[in-house]
């Protein structure tokens, strides 16, 4: 039976690479995004997939998106919570204008995937897998973006607890924690980065093997380094 996959933020970066990887394996794929231009481009390139315009921070958009998946495919097997944003913040600056954008960051990176996961499970209790895209920065928060580290750490904690909760039901919960990847979000940054396709390949392998965490590239060394040299890791990340 063909697997049905929904990927939030699936029109660019890691989300797009995941969509293309699932499609190449024969899965039926739905993606959502906020840019109609990006959705149209995706639909033109991948006419067999479903492209849905949705802002996952809005309840009515999430409901309409899940209904669109049900109408097109009749079910859902894999939910990939990928949509997110990176915002650098200096909390010592004391800018009042930061409050609204901080709320928006938390809503997109943390609240929305929690709510969407709950809404999806209420509709399809027999999901095969749920994927949460976090970051290596969920384990060591960067000095230039502590709120990003905080929300990704929150998503990491939710994935761990949900994994235990869903274990009796057979639903696989996978956390994908990539290092810096060459996406539109990291445009302008220097240094060696993984490609989104490389991250997607590691993710699908981890799904097949029902791993708890997928750590592509240099991220695979992070748990070991945090055990043997936590101060060194923290000092390195503090300079990011």
> Helices 112-123 and 146-166 meet at what angle, rounded to 10?
20
Helix (H, G, I), strand (E, B) or coil at 139: coil
First to last CA, the chain: 45
Domain range for 138: 4-238
Mean pLDDT of the 157-181 span: 94
Strands 213-214, 172-176: parallel, antiparallel or unpaired by DSSP? parallel
Q: Report how far apart, in Å, the C-alpha atoms of 14 and of each of 20, 24, 95, 124, 190 are.
A: 10, 15, 32, 25, 18
Instruction: Report the half-sphere exposure of 86 (CA within 13 A, side-chain side).
Output: 18
pTM: 0.88
59-102 per-position pLDDT tens digit: 999 999 999 999 999 999 999 999 999 888 888 886 655 677 89
216 pLDDT tier (thresholds 50, 70, 90): confident
Model confidence at 9: pLDDT above 50: yes
Model confidence at 189: pLDDT above 70: no
The helix or strand, by DSSP H or E, that contains position 96, with its residue range, turns out to be none
166 Cβ contact partners less than 8 Å away, ≥ 6 residues apart: 130, 173
Catalytic pick among 50, 148, 163, 171: 148
**Number of compact structural domains in the chain:** 1
Mean pLDDT of the 178-205 span: 76
188 pLDDT tier (thresholds 50, 70, 90): low
| Average pLDDT value for the chain | 87
Model confidence at 231: pLDDT above 60: no
For the chain, how many residues are written? 240
Q: What percentage of the chain exceeds 90 in pLDDT?
A: 70
Provide the pLDDT for residue 226: 44
The enclosing domain of 213 has a CATH number of: 3.40.50.720
Mean pLDDT of the 117-142 span: 92
Provide the pLDDT for residue 237: 44
Instruction: Please say whether the beta carbons of 78 and 131 come within 8 A.
Output: yes
Provide the pLDDT for residue 138: 79
Task: Judge whether 148 counts as a catalytic residue.
Answer: yes
Provide the pLDDT for residue 236: 43
DSSP H helical ranges for the chain: 13-24, 36-45, 59-73, 98-106, 112-123, 146-166, 196-208, 222-228, 230-238
Model confidence at 235: pLDDT above 50: no
The more confident residue out of 179 and 56 is 56
Provide the pLDDT for residue 222: 55
Model confidence at 217: pLDDT above 80: no
Q: Which stretch of 69-78, 127-136, 152-161, 177-186 has the lowest confidence by average pLDDT?
A: 177-186
């Amino acid at each position: 039976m063909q697997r049905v996959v929904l990927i939030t933020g699936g029109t660019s970066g890691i989300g797009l690479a995941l969509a293309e990887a699932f499609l190449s394996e024969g899965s039926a794929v739905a993606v959502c995004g906020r840019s109609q231009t990006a959705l149209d481009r995706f639909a033109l390139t991948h006419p067999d997939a479903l492209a849905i315009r949705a802002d996952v921070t809005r309840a009515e958009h999430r409901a309409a998106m899940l209904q669109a998946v049900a109408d097109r495919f009749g079910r859902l097997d894999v939910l990939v919570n990928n949509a997110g944003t990176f915002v650098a913040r200096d909390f010592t600056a004391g800018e009042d204008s930061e409050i609204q954008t901080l709320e928006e960051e938390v809503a997109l990176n943390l609240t929305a995937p929690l709510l969407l996961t709950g809404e999806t499970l209420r509709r399809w209790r027999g999901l095969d897998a749920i994927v949460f895209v976090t970051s290596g920065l969920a384990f060591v928060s960067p000095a230039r973006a502590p709120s990003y580290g905080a929300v990704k750490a929150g998503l990491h904690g939710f994935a761990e607890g949900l994994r235990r909760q869903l274990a009796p039901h057979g639903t696989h919960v996978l956390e994908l924690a990539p290092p810096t990847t060459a996406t539109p979000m990291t445009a302008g940054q220097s240094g060696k980065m993984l490609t989104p396709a490389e991250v997607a390949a590691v993710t699908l392998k981890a799904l097949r093997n029902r791993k708890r965490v997928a750590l592509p590239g240099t991220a695979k060394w992070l748990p070991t380094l945090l055990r043997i040299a936590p101060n060194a890791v923290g000092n390195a990340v503090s300079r990011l």
